[in-house]
């Protein structure tokens, strides 16, 4: 059966649009039709820019007819997590706290996408203020996983991942503070890139924890994530198209951090990950076990950085209108008001140690490789879950394998590696060297054909 | 301030503010604080990490977050 065009990748669609063989309007209308059909059940979108998106698409089609192509994103429908400002459109952050907000101008990342020719099709649902990993605490209804609507899509960029899987947009822009791009990517079966910290501007994006916040793409392939990443960084993609040939898998050196990271894994996730490693080795990659000595300390460090930074941003609205937050997010923000300054400073100092640990583990390796999530997508609303014979908090499990690399600022990407027997996706995470997101993308592109089942 | 003193004060304040639901979270935060303080944050050479101020806008010269 032929896959409808709006489920294809940017690398497939871009040349068709550039050659005038596919109109952006037709592609945009197909995505809007998916939103109309499926979004009432999945809650992926908060704002759909139907007529506005079609007008954008017509403008880009007219440019192609006049001989102007802006690059590979020209005419491609892309959604924005509703933390990111788009001029004239509400930025709700999935919260009643921001009920009357309308963005006065584009965030820099939005302006860059617009300049690159992206059709901004709508704003996606998320965990309120990005302060959670399941996308069920939101003023707009819980986001549902399209693989099983009784399950969470992960979060906080849950709507973004759902939009890509269901053909509602070809790519999406999310944010990642402890894993919020990689977690929903793994839970829904998309590619999600957290670039190195500081590469992509966060201005015009509602902050969660400013010293940890990252903006990055969710997409259908590594090459698509790469192209969108270049645009988000402000690099001209037309000159970079096509992307450089991917690195060879043969001789690629992958470090496997097992201690702590493999201590609590769902059996099905463990099996999928082991199968992926076997395929990578069979294809010619070398693997070596590495150790990140302080990895088990990452969770308390993350907590003592995120909580007070988030509480500081929300202090005024917590005082003025606490009832407008969802209960769980309000309590988490209130918790942040009690963190002692001395412990915040301790946590910030610990980040330097963690960063040196990860740098040392990467010494002699092209990337680290580990699962993205230790569990498949949990049931919507679940607070605890059974993992390897123990009862664990869902939130701690969701963050367990991703938060370290948010603390250290290393670039990290999640790729789908097939499904559990119950049909729930699993993700493989690659972590690259500081300052070298493109090196990570090249490594991920080399691995991609061998791990996507 | 000891963690026990901090927790007692925080829970009393939560009660005063009518946020009894917060107390279990504060207890879990106390556990996390205990873990943070006792984790032994030395690098491989045994050098303790020096506290650095949080960067919020741009990474420092070496590009890494604080």
CB burial string B9-33: b at 16+ within 10 A, e below: ebbeebeeeebeebeebbeebbebb
If you search the block for the tokens 């990337």, which residue do you land on? A367
- Which of A177, A300, A394, A400 has the most B C-beta neighbours within 10 Å, making it the best mutation to test the interface with B? A300
Contact flag A348-B51 (C-beta cutoff 8 Å)? yes
Report which secondary-structure segment, H or E, holds B30: helix B22-38
Instruction: Tell me which of A135, A156, A172, A276 is the catalytic residue.
Output: A156
- Amino acid B42: pLDDT: 72
Has this prediction a pTM greater than 0.90? yes
Nearest CA among A4, A8, A160, A163 for reference residue A72: A8
pLDDT in tens, chain A (453 residues): 588 999 999 999 999 999 999 999 999 999 999 999 999 999 999 999 999 999 999 999 999 999 999 999 999 999 999 999 999 999 999 999 999 899 999 999 999 999 999 999 999 999 999 999 999 999 999 999 999 999 999 999 999 999 999 999 999 999 999 999 999 999 999 999 999 999 999 999 999 999 999 999 999 999 999 999 999 999 877 767 777 667 899 999 999 999 999 999 999 999 999 999 999 999 999 999 999 999 999 999 999 999 999 999 999 999 999 999 999 999 999 999 999 999 999 999 999 999 999 999 999 999 999 999 999 999 999 999 999 999 999 999 999 999 999 999 999 999 999 999 999 999 999 999 998 999 999 999 999 999 975
Query: H/E/C letters for each residue in A416-445?
Result: EEEECCCCCEEEEEEECCCCCHHHHHHHHH
> DSSP class of residue A185?
H
* B59 interaction partners in chain A (CB closer than 8 Å): 197-198, 409
Residue in B6, B43, B56 closest to A211 by CB = B56
Cβ atoms of residues A187 and A181 within 8 Å: no
Contact flag B53-A348 (C-beta cutoff 8 Å)? yes
- Amino acid B66: pLDDT: 34
Q: Each residue of B29-42: pLDDT tens digit?
A: 999 999 999 988 87
Token pair of A206, please? Answer: 């509602």
- Amino acid B48: pLDDT: 55
- Amino acid A60: pLDDT: 98
Residue in B1, B64, B65 closest to A340 by CB = B1
Residue in B25, B51, B56 closest to A335 by CB = B25
**What are the angstrom distances between the C-alpha of A103 and each of A8, A55, A116?**
31, 20, 20
A62 in B contact zone (CB under 8 Å): no
Non-local (6+) Cβ contacts of A133 within 8 A are A127, A154, A155, A156, A178, A179, A180, A183, A394, A395, A398, A399
Contact flag A351-B32 (C-beta cutoff 8 Å)? no
**Nearest-CA distance A60 → chain B (Å):** 34
* B49 interaction partners in chain A (CB closer than 8 Å): 349-350, 352-353
Instruction: Respond yes or no: is residue A157 known to be catalytic.
Output: no
Residue in B35, B54, B57 closest to A348 by CB = B54
Contact flag A297-B36 (C-beta cutoff 8 Å)? yes
> Chain A 249-308, CB below 8 Å of chain B: which residues?
293-294, 297, 299-301, 303-305, 307
* B55 interaction partners in chain A (CB closer than 8 Å): 211
- Residue B64 pLDDT > 80, yes or no? no
């Amino acid at each position: 059966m032929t896959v409808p065009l709006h489920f294809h990748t940017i690398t497939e669609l871009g040349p068709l649009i550039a050659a005038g063989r596919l109109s952006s309007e037709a592609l945009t209308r197909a995505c809007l039709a998916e939103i109309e059909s499926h979004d009432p059940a999945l809650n992926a979108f908060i704002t759909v820019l139907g007529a506005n998106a079609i007008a954008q698409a017509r403008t880009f089609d007219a440019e192609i007819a006049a001989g102007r192509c802006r690059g590979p994103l020209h005419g491609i429908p892309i959604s924005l997590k509703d933390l990111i400002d788009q001029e004239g459109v509400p930025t709700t952050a999935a919260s009643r706290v921001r009920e009357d907000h309308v963005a006065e101008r584009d965030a820099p990342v939005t302006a860059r996408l617009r300049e690159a020719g992206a059709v901004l099709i709508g704003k996606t649902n998320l965990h309120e203020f990005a302060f959670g990993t399941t996308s069920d605490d939101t003023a707009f209804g819980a986001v549902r996983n399209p693989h099983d609507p009784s399950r969470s899509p992960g979060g906080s960029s849950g709507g973004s991942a759902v939009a890509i899987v269901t053909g509602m947009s070809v790519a999406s822009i999310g944010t990642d503070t402890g894993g919020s791009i990689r977690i929903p990517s793994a839970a829904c079966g998309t590619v999600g890139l957290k670039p190195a910290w500081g590469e992509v501007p966060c201005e015009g994006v509602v902050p969660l924890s400013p010293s940890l916040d990252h903006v990055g793409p969710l997409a259908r392939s590594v090459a698509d994530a790469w192209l969108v990443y270049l645009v988000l960084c402000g690099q001209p993609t037309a000159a970079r198209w096509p992307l450089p040939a991917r690195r060879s898998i043969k001789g690629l050196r992958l470090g496997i951090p097992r201690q702590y990271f493999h201590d609590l894994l769902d059996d099905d996730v463990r099996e999928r990950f082991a199968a992926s490693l076997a395929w990578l080795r069979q294809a010619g990659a070398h693997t070596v076990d590495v150790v990140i000595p302080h990895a088990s300390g990452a969770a308390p460090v993350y907590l003592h950085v995120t909580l007070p930074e988030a509480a500081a941003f929300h202090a005024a609205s917590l005082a003025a209108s606490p009832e407008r937050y969802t209960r769980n997010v309000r309590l988490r923000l209130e918790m942040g008001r009690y963190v002692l300054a001395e412990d915040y400073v301790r946590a910030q100092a610990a980040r330097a140690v963690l960063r040196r640990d990860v740098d040392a583990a990467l010494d002699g390796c092209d990337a680290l490789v580990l699962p993205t999530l230790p569990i498949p997508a949990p049931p919507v609303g679940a607070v605890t879950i059974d993992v390897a014979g123990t009862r664990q908090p869902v939130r701690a499990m969701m963050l367990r394998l991703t938060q370290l690399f948010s603390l250290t600022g290393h670039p990290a990407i999640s790729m789908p590696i097939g499904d559990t027997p119950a049909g729930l996706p699993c993700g493989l995470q690659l972590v690259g060297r500081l300052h070298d997101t493109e090196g990570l993308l090249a490594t991920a592109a080399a691995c991609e054909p061998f791990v996507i089942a | 301030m000891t963690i026990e003193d901090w927790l007692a004060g925080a829970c009393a304040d939560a009660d005063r503010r009518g946020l009894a639901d917060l107390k279990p979270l504060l207890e879990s935060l106390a556990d996390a604080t205990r873990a943070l303080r006792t984790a032994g944050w030395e690098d491989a050479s045994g050098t303790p990490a020096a506290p650095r101020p949080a960067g919020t806008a741009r990474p420092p010269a070496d590009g890494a977050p604080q």
